[in-house]
Amino acid sequence: MTLDKVKCPSCGELVAPINGAIKAASSYDDCLRRCEKCGIGFSNSKNNPSVIYKNYLDNIPELLQNGLEITLNNSINELNRKNKRNKIGYSTSEDALTWSFFKYFVVRERF
């Protein structure tokens, strides 16, 4: 199986895959298709690849980023902190969506 080029959602350039064994990407560094300029990787899925950000904060709107780093650094499951940080950087992350949803209401003082 070969991976197709994908268009970077930030700069619009086509990103070609690098050579390597195709395995599930568990972080940006595992992505065989990466836009180094933008810090955006794409999962190694042939169809509908997920975006994986090099900096997980890029998956959270800037207005809502405050406090996330502290929250992750103090999560109860210490062994899973690095994994949690990586997973928040996925475009499909439920944690990123949940954080953004509730943080928006906190920032807008709607809670």
- Own/partner contacts of 48-55, CB < 8 Å, gap of 24 or more, are 49/6, 50/90, 50/91, 50/92, 51/9, 51/90, 51/91, 52/25, 52/27, 52/28, 52/89, 52/90, 52/91, 53/28, 53/89, 53/90, 54/28, 54/89, 55/89
Mean pLDDT of 10-39: 96
21 versus 12: which is more confidently predicted? 12
Q: For position 23, what pLDDT does the model report? A: 95
Q: For position 61, what pLDDT does the model report? A: 98
Amino acid symbol at 94: E
Please tell me the total number of residues recorded for the chain in this structure: 111
Q: Is the pLDDT of residue 41 over 90?
A: yes
Mean pLDDT of 64-74: 96
Same-domain check for residues 110 and 61: yes
Same-domain check for residues 79 and 108: yes
Q: How are strands ordered across the β-sheet holding 51-53? A: 33-35, 40-42, 51-53
| pLDDT tens string 74-100 | 999 999 999 999 999 999 999 999 999
Tell me which DSSP letter residue 64 carries.
G
Mean pLDDT of 11-39: 96
Residue-range definition of the domain harbouring residue 62? 56-111
Q: State the total domains in the chain.
A: 2
Of the residues 54, 74, 92, the one at which a domain ends: 54
Mean pLDDT of 33-42: 98
Q: Is the pLDDT of residue 60 over 80?
A: yes
Band (1; pLDDT cuts 50, 70, 90): confident
Same-domain check for residues 12 and 42: yes
Same-domain check for residues 63 and 105: yes
